[in-house]
């Protein structure tokens, strides 16, 4: 029979392998990272509860390691499957039946809506939702939204998602006093941030809010705003409504349409000049022996078409970028994650974290969109500059070539 310390070590290794091999990668929230976070949170909460023994801590950790293993067959009834896996593993290790029952009770208590019946069940329930009140909240809730889409085909608009999160947080309460002390303050901060997002998405919502304290705080903040020299104001100080969103949407659409038009124009020039060059090489060049007077105008026409072809290619040639920003760049708001060329070499976790940071910071989000529009404009200007040169060379070169052919025939 293994000692209890051996049990914890064996379970940790077993669960890591289980998630790697059995849990679908589409469960981007209910993954090994979440399980490890729950185990850590159990220990953090338990360290503030005096009456718990070392044995109680072991039971908590075992329950936390197994509590989401049932996701190998999906969301429904995963708690019961987790209990079965825990019983099978611990039973094979001759773990005491009485302790196994306590562990199964802790796992079942995590089922929503939670209804814990003991201090151990309260702690694991609070640990399972500890992200609501810590720094990882925005990353974890973003993963919940992604997981709902991937595994249950539930797609929500931004406003629907904010409503969902706001409803969940306002109706949630931590069960243990230790968890309340650890997480309540930051959870309330997240609720205030969600309300700000809700107000940004639906300005009329303020009139329906029953929380008068929140409304008063908004009025006080507006009164304290100071004018910035030159009339410039930070994005955070602006009342960003549908007009601003429509402006960005329209501008993006215009840029995309102009880019498409430029590519079509370049394709036309590529096709025309390629056809002319192929005709010249196959029909005119072989006649130089019999008609030497055609050599010079043919060479001029060939040079014109080849030059126009080069500029048409330059206007459509993609630019290779590094495709990577560091977390330091994102923290300092020097990144633009809205364009694929800036993130295609980044790890998925870094990109997801960066997007969550941008989404929860309105100033960062709109600044990124503004930078994206600026660089789109730079690319468009380059495209159209090359196209202007291409069409100019083709038009004037074609005129000059026709004149050269006419002179060649007259001289003959």
3-state secondary structure of 209: coil
In this prediction, residue 314 has a pLDDT band, given cuts at 50, 70 and 90, of confident
- When mean pLDDT is compared across 107-116, 151-160, 298-307, the lowest value belongs to 151-160
At 368, phi and psi to the nearest 5?
-65, -40
Per-residue pLDDT for 238 more than 50?
A: no
| Dist. CA 342–CA 355, nearest whole Å | 13
Give the Cα separation of 104 and 100 in Å (integer): 6
pLDDT per position as a tens digit, 156-215 = 888 888 888 888 988 889 999 889 999 999 999 999 888 888 888 777 665 555 454 455
Is it the case that residue 369 has pLDDT exceeding 50?
A: yes
Residues 6+ apart with CB under 8 A from 115: 109
Render pLDDT for 399-409 as a digit per residue (tens, 0 to 9): 998 898 888 88
CA gap 346, 343 in Å, rounded: 5
Number of other CB atoms surrounding residue 230 within 10 Å? 6
Task: Give the least confident one: 75-89, 278-292, 317-331.
Answer: 317-331
Position 321 scores a pLDDT of 60
Average the pLDDT over each of 90-94, 201-205, 251-255 and give the range with the smallest value: 201-205
End-to-end CA distance of the chain: 108
């Amino acid at each position: 029979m293994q000692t209890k310390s051996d049990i914890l070590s064996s379970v940790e290794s077993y669960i890591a392998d289980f998630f790697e091999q059995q849990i679908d990668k589409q469960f981007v929230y209910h993954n090994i990272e979440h399980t490890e976070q729950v185990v850590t949170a159990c220990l953090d909460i338990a360290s503030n509860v005096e009456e718990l023994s070392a044995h109680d801590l072991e039971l908590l950790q075992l329950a936390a390691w197994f509590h989401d293993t049932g996701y190998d067959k999906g969301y429904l009834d995963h708690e019961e499957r987790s209990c079965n896996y825990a019983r099978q593993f611990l039973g094979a290790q001759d773990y005491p039946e009485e302790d196994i029952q306590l562990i199964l009770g802790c796992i079942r208590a995590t089922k929503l809506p939670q209804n814990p019946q003991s201090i151990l069940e309260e702690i694991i329930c609070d640990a399972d939702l500890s992200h609501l009140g810590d720094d990882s909240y925005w990353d974890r809730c973003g993963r919940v939204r992604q997981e709902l889409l991937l595994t249950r085909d539930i797609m929500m608009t931004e406003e629907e998602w904010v409503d969902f999160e706001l409803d969940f947080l306002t109706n949630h309460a931590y069960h243990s006093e230790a968890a309340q002390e650890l997480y309540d303050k930051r959870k309330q901060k997240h609720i205030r941030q969600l309300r700000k997002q809700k107000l940004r998405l639906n300005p009329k919502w303020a009139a329906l809010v029953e929380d008068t304290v929140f409304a008063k705080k908004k009025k006080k903040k507006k009164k304290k705003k100071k004018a910035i020299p030159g009339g410039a104001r930070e994005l955070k100080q602006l009342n960003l409504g549908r007009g601003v969103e429509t402006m960005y949407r329209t501008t993006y659409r215009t840029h995309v349409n102009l880019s498409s038009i430029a590519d079509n124009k370049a394709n036309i020039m590529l096709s025309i000049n390629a056809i002319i060059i192929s005709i010249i090489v196959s029909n005119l060049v072989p006649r130089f022996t019999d008609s030497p007077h055609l050599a010079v105008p043919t060479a001029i026409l060939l040079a014109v078409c080849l030059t126009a072809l080069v500029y048409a290619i330059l206007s459509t040639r993609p630019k290779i970028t590094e495709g990577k920003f560091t977390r330091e760049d994102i923290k300092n708001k020097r990144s633009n994650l809205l364009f694929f060329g800036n993130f295609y070499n980044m790890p998925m976790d870094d990109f997801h974290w960066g997007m969550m940071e941008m989404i929860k910071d309105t100033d960062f989000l709109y600044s990124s969109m503004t930078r994206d529009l600026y660089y789109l404009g730079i690319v468009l200007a380059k495209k159209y500059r090359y196209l202007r040169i291409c069409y100019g060379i083709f038009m004037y070169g074609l005129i000059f070539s026709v004149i050269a052919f006419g002179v060649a025939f007259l001289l003959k």
